[in-house]
Amino acid sequence: MLRILKLILPLVMVISCSPTTEKKTSTHQYLEEITLSQLQTGYAEGTYSIEQVVKDYLQRIEDLDKDGPALNSIICINPQAIETAKALDAELKAGNSRGPLHGIPVIVKDNLNTTDMPTTAGATVLRDSYPPHDSYLVKKLRDAGAVIIAKANLSEWANFRADMSSSGWSGMLGQTKNPYVLDRNPCGSSSGSGVAASANLCALAIGTETNGSIVCPSNANGLVGLKPTVGLLSRSGIIPISFTQDTAGPMGRTVTDVAIALGVLAGVDSTDEKTLASAGKSFTDYTAYLKADGLKGKRIGWLKNIGGYHAGVDTLIKKAIVDLRAQGAEVVEIDFSMDRSAGGSSFTVLLYEFKDGLTKYFSSLGDKARVQDLAGLMEFNRQDSVELKYFDQQLLKLAHEKGTLQDKEYLDALATMHKATRENGIDKLLLENKLDALMAPTGAPAWKTDLINGDHFLGGSSSLAAISGYPSITVPMGFVDVLPVGVSFFSTAWQEPTLIEIAYGYEQATKHRKAPTYIVSK
């Protein structure tokens, strides 16, 4: 979620991209908490077929997302999913595997372009928008043998629209529910991705983040979520907010699954200039950093100023520090508050870049685009029966009023935010304290969804890594009553290997992840 904004409200209609999944008599219980490696073993041994696994995940979506607890996390089912699975089964039967994602059912956030399903960012203006090309990451997933079974709901326009909002709401689908307690919020903006992965509606999910949109829903849904260094993963074909801060990233139930996905997704894309800086700094396999003793000798700085907003979270972070030290890490208390200029400057940059990026995105749709710019989008929303029923479009208005990326205001804000979060932020803290990484609680327990007053956000730690463009990973660190919360580790650019070592070592020593049980209210 973008913490400086959010999104609000109704339960609207569900888009259907394929016929309702046919009811089956077979059970899909075996998919509960299954890992990528377990699926691959099952395929290799003939225990499972990709076709049956895909069908069973689609049945779970029918049973849990549309019926039962009605999680409302899926905007669209891929009508080609089963045929794709059959083809991938045939490849395996012929002795050909494309790698660790071969036959793995994946759900992607509905701001990643897909040619076989509409790409909407949750907005009704894009209801029937089929982009001309897959996003670069979707193509990489398909080439790796993943089966993209569905598109996930999100906070509309990735939470960059309204003054006050409810995370996980979109005009396309309405409000997504938290699977742990159904009247609690899933956070956002990668709300559907977080819920789908947590509720075992897929083996792996892909989210995107500008500020908190991967780590916050991972926190609220008991997941591991990795926000990479900006430039490690391509953004081509992803509906943008910010050229400077946007990145996609994997969301899963284990650090191992997330590390496997990262290796498939990383790489230089000539159409996204940010990725050029990753040459020689990325890996096609991050599983080498899954070390049981990954915490041994690590020096981690605890940002103790990021806390105090929830007593239960404060208790858990102190317990996490004890666990880290027991595994051989040295944890150092750090007093640090991010320069206040960083947040305001980042917001200015987002307004400019959203205007520029969204105009270019509409242009990429050619004559199929309903609108060409923010002015057209706002006018469409004023005429729509859903879009302005509960919330405004103040952020669209503010972005529309900005100039170009050559404006002094924009360039000054860009320089200010990076200096505050890099030179005088993460880099300075790491250097002066001889640290491998920093840590802080990811966020508070999920709040009750409120379609009138919007999100009740208590606190979190996403901004420093998000504004700097540096990597962060969140891992479950326990429960406040029945609601999960996570701990985040972050470092300087391209340090995903170090963060994976730390996260894996902590995860293996604690194993806090528990599947949701769909409590109605608490």
SS3 55: helix
Please give the Cα distance from 182 to 187 (Å, whole number): 13
Mean pLDDT of 132-138: 98
Residue 517 lies in a domain: no
Domain annotation covers residue 8: no
The residue type at 85:
A
Q: In whole numbers, what is the pLDDT of the chain averaged over residues?
A: 95
Residue 245 CA to residue 283 CA, distance in Å, equals: 21
Number of domains in the chain: 1
Q: Which two tokens stand for residue 492?
A: 């300087």
Tokens 């073993």 correspond to 41
Give tens-digit pLDDT for 495-515.
999 999 999 999 999 999 999
Please say whether the beta carbons of 512 and 253 come within 8 A.
Answer: no
Task: Residue 356: give the domain boundaries.
Answer: 33-510
pLDDT (tens digit per residue) in 36-62? 999 999 999 999 999 999 999 999 999
- For residues 326 and 417, give the distance between their C-alpha atoms in angstroms, rounded to a whole number: 36
Distance CA 199, CA 518 (A): 9
Per-residue pLDDT at 418: 98
pLDDT of residue 456: 96
Return the pLDDT at 193: 99
- Is 324 a member of any domain? yes
Q: Per the domain annotation, does 10 fall within a domain?
A: no
Which one is catalytic: 73, 165, 166, 189?
A: 189
What's the confidence (pLDDT) of residue 20? 40
Residue 8 has pLDDT above 50, yes or no: no
Q: In Å, how far are 129, 354, 420 from 76, measured between CA atoms?
A: 13, 25, 41
The pLDDT tens digits for 256-299 are 999 999 999 999 999 999 999 999 999 999 999 999 999 999 99
Q: Could you give the CA distance from residue 197 to residue 106 in angstroms, rounded to a whole number?
A: 9
| Residue 122 CB neighbours (<10 A) | 32
Residue 34 CB neighbour total at 10 angstroms: 16
Mean pLDDT for the stretch of residues 235-251: 98
User: How many percent of the chain have pLDDT more than 90?
Assistant: 94
Amino acid (one-letter) located at 473: I
State both tokens at 432.
Answer: 């002066």
Examine the pLDDT at 138 and tell me if it is beyond 50: yes
Indicate the SS3 state at residue 480.
strand
Identity at 13, one-letter amino acid code: M
Residue 14 lies in a domain: no
pLDDT number for residue 25: 43
Q: What is the distance in angstroms between the CA of the first residue and the CA of the last residue of the chain?
A: 23
**Above 90 in pLDDT, residue 140?**
yes
Scan for tokens 């395996």, then name that residue: 92
Does 9 score more than 50 pLDDT?
no
- Identity of residue 397: K
Beta bridge partners of 139: none
Question: Which of 2-11, 97-106, 324-333, 460-469 has the weakest average pLDDT?
Answer: 2-11
Q: Are 300 and 276 in contact (CB under 8 A)?
A: no
Cα distance between residue 490 and residue 472, in whole Å: 4
Pairing of β 105-109 and β 147-152: parallel
Are 426 and 492 in contact by the 8 Å Cβ rule? The answer is: yes
Q: How far apart are CA 253 and CA 255, in angstroms?
A: 7
Q: Give me the mean pLDDT over the 315-343 stretch.
A: 97
Maximum Cα interatomic distance, the chain, rounded to a whole number of Å: 63
User: pLDDT digit string (tens) for 378-436?
Assistant: 999 999 999 998 899 999 999 999 999 999 999 999 999 999 999 999 999 999 999 99
Mean pLDDT of the 349-377 span = 97
| Model pLDDT, residue 4 | 44
CATH number of the domain at 343, please.
3.90.1300.10
Determine the pLDDT at residue 17: 62
Peptide bond into 189 cis (omega under 30): yes
Known catalytic residue at 109: yes
pLDDT at 23: 44
Query: Using an 8 Å Cβ cutoff, are 430 and 494 in contact?
Result: no
Task: Tell me, yes or no, whether 18 lies in a domain.
Answer: no
Per the domain annotation, does 20 fall within a domain? no
pLDDT at 27: 83
User: Active-site residue among 109, 139, 140, 402?
Assistant: 109
Category of 267 on φ-ψ map: left (φ > 0), alpha (ψ -120 to 50) or beta = left
Active site residue 213: yes
Q: Which two tokens stand for residue 62?
A: 């029918």
Mean pLDDT of 211-238: 98
The answer to whether position 7 is within a domain reads: no
Is pLDDT above 60 for 447? yes
Residue among 213, 461, 468, 472 flagged as catalytic: 213
pLDDT at 410: 98
